[in-house]
Amino acid sequence: MDWNRAKEICESNHTVNVTHNGVPVYIDSVSEDKDTASIHPLSQPNEQQTVSVSSLTETSK
């Protein structure tokens, strides 16, 4: 995924399915200058981590 799409998803009011290493995640924020995203697994909202935007995958339901 590129940072533009990650930012669109982060700012969207709609639910978009995104995974990181096959795990469904929520994008909390996107850092354009670092090309990273702050995410957390849907099942673990307190487990926030920073990952490369390119490691995120948009999936269909």
Confidence category of residue 54, pLDDT binned at 50, 70, 90: very high
Through-space distance between the first and last CA atoms of the chain, rounded to whole angstroms: 17
Work out the mean pLDDT of the chain and round it to a whole number. 95
pLDDT of residue 60: 82
The vertex-61 CA angle with 16 and 58, nearest 5°, equals 45
CB of 3 within 8 A of CB of 32? yes
pTM of the full predicted structure? 0.91
Quick check: 61 pLDDT over 70? no
Q: What is the pLDDT of residues 42-53, one digit of tens each?
A: 999 999 999 999
- The secondary element (H helix, E strand) that includes residue 10 is helix 3-11
Quick check: 36 pLDDT over 70? yes
